[in-house]
Amino acid sequence: MRTLTVIAFIKAKPGKETVLHEALLALVTATREEAGCINYDLHVSTENPGHFAFHENWASKQHLDEHLKSPHLAAVAARGAELFAEPPQIMTFDRIA
């Protein structure tokens, strides 16, 4: 099975680390229930509690595209100016081995 891997890095604005942590954590349950979601794992930096990473695997690009339009993701994105120190860095990968 060919899957699409996503790595997303998100940095909190100073003073917003806990609020962003809670907002991102709330995405996990809803996203894991989406069609095509293989895994959706949230990580926090061991060196900086305001740096987060998602490691995701999707059954297809179409499933990822549907996720990107989901209401729960849009709700967090709408708070970006309040919560994010910079725009999230999102990269997609095809597994080769």
- What's the CATH code of the domain at 58? 3.30.70.100
Instruction: Assess whether pLDDT exceeds 70 at residue 1.
Output: no
Alpha carbon distance 4, 57 (integer Å): 6
Alpha carbon distance 88, 2 (integer Å): 25
**Could you give the number of structural domains in the chain?**
1
Structural domain boundaries enclosing 8: 4-94
pLDDT score, position 31: 98
Q: Which residues pair with 29 in a beta bridge?
A: none
pTM surpassing 0.85? yes
Alpha carbon distance 42, 25 (integer Å): 7
Task: Give alpha helix (H) positions in 1-97.
Answer: 17-32, 61-68, 71-77, 80-83
- DSSP 8-state symbol, 28: H
pLDDT score, position 97: 82
Q: How many residues does the chain have?
A: 97
Radius of gyration of the chain (CA): 13
79 phi/psi in degrees, rounded to 5: -95, 10
Instruction: Assess whether pLDDT exceeds 70 at residue 76.
Output: yes
